[in-house]
């Protein structure tokens, strides 16, 4: 059981969290995990590296399919990056 002082301190922390980050407070209250932006950023970086690698390989190899895959991957990566920053 928490003491009166501990409960008061927890209530202060809860109010401060509500004011500073209401999305995180709602996620914690509902028991849901907040969306991870780090994972999304890491995936975008991996797709960008893959796209550039495919484009370079497409220039070296005489296969236009590799270049097309690189262009499509790069287009999707840029589109996702731009859409993410508009929100």
Per-residue pLDDT of 45-87, as tens digits, reads: 898 899 899 889 988 988 889 889 889 988 988 888 888 776 5
Dihedral angle, C-alpha 17, 23, 28, 30, nearest 10 °: 130
The residue to which tokens 């287009």 are assigned: 75
Dihedral angle, C-alpha 78, 84, 85, 87, nearest 10 °: 150
The number of residues in the chain equals 87
| Residue percentage of the chain with pLDDT more than 70 | 93
Mean pLDDT of the region 38-50: 85
């Amino acid at each position: 059981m928490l003491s009166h002082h501990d409960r008061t301190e927890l209530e202060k922390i809860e109010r401060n969290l509500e004011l500073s980050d209401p999305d995180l407070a709602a996620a914690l209250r509902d028991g849901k995990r907040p969306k991870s932006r780090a994972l999304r950023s890491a995936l975008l970086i991996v797709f960008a590296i893959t796209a550039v690698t495919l484009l370079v390989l497409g220039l070296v190899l005489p296969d236009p399919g590799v270049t097309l895959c690189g262009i499509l991957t790069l287009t999707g990566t840029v589109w996702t990056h731009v859409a993410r920053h508009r929100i």
